[in-house]
Amino acid sequence: MGASGSKARGLWPFTSAAGGGVPETAGAEQALVRPRGLGVPPFVFTRRGSMFYDEDGDLAHEFYEETIVTKNGQKRAKLRRVYKNLIPQGIVKLDPPRIHVDFPVILYEV
């Protein structure tokens, strides 16, 4: 059997007994697809942080500095975005863990 044969044996969650087609085994009534690797959890415990540290140790998504601009003899304050000397936040622990985006499960509330 090809790739479709493995789906008919209960590894594909979207088959139904009423839908016709190839008869299913008793294991096909499971709601989840078996993970590809052995012992691979469907959860994500860490992610890469999206924020940065500046020279002062402040943590934020974006940093701005105030600059004074003289135009027509008038002093005016403007904000300029800072791109240099920023350190990425690194790995962030997720609490609670999230379900991996590639885990083939349909979540619904009854």
Q: How many domains does the chain have?
A: 1
- Has residue 14 been placed in a domain? no
Tens of pLDDT, residue by residue, the chain (110 residues): 444 444 444 444 544 455 544 444 444 444 455 555 567 788 899 999 999 999 999 999 999 999 999 999 999 999 999 999 999 999 999 999 998 888 887 777 77
CA 12/CA 16 separation, integer angstroms: 10
Residue 28 lies in a domain: no
Cβ neighbours around 7 below 10 Å, total: 19
Q: Which amino acid is at 52?
A: F
pTM: 0.54
Q: Is residue 40 part of a domain?
A: no
In this structure, is the dihedral angle defined by the CA atoms of residues 101, 19, 108 and 30, taken in order, positive or negative? negative
Q: Provide the domain limits for residue 89.
A: 49-99
Q: Is the residue at 73 inside a domain?
A: yes
Tell me if 95 is assigned to some domain.
yes
- Give bridge partners of residue 93 from the DSSP assignment: 46
Asked if residue 57 belongs to a domain, the reply is yes
Residue 68 lies in a domain: yes
Cis amide leading into 13 (omega within 30): no
